[in-house]
Amino acid sequence: MQKELVIIGAGGHGKVIADIAKWNGYQNIVFLDADKSKKNCGKYQVIGTENMLADLSGDIIVAIGNAADRRKIQERIDRSRIATLIHPDAFVADDVIIGKGTVIMAGAVINSGAIIGESCIINTCASVDHDCILSDYVHISAGAHIAGTVKIHSNTWIGVGVSVSNDIEIAGNCVVGAGAAVVQNIAIPGTYVGVPAVCVKQRKQSSLSDFQ
């Protein structure tokens, strides 16, 4: 029997996930998207909107970059159907814990003792070193490097090429801009940029953030 996967979100991120799904043995891959004008995502068909989900069989993964939107959709899905995808060219230590709905892309490295929450994105050639804890819906962008024993709370987006020093804790609902260097704890939700990273915009605590 063919392995089937439904991908919600027919954008560039979805294309990459579809390729990882192929390497994970899925033969029948289709997309759903809120934009009814979309008919294809790469070589795969967009067959309708999320409203069709109950009529489709197979596993499901949400391919939407925005953490709040990703959470809203994933929390409506039967947990038994949520896929976790790891590219075969990623290195993941054998004691790493990975939550449902998480995607780990080509060239990523996740070292021993790390805990990765639900629906996280560990993007192309990113690294998460030993004993890090990433809460749900965290996105580590391409080429970002997280040193050992870092804790990142939910809904936080770590931008392209960011570096985070060891033993750092980063609040939920943050955005760390591309190329920034985080060298001290970030306790206040907001947008942080620069070397070293400084806050340029504070944000109210989101009800979607755990801040544990």
Active site residue 130: yes
Task: Tell me the CA distances in angstroms from 193 to 30, 55, 64, 169, one per residue in order.
Answer: 37, 44, 23, 16
Whole-angstrom distance, CA of residue 38 vs CA of residue 41: 8
88, exposed or middle or buried, with CB in 10 Å at 0-12, 13-18, 19+? Answer: exposed
Contact 86, 41 (CB under 8 A): no
Point out the catalytic residue in the list 13, 87, 130, 145: 130
Q: Kindly list the catalytic residues.
A: 130
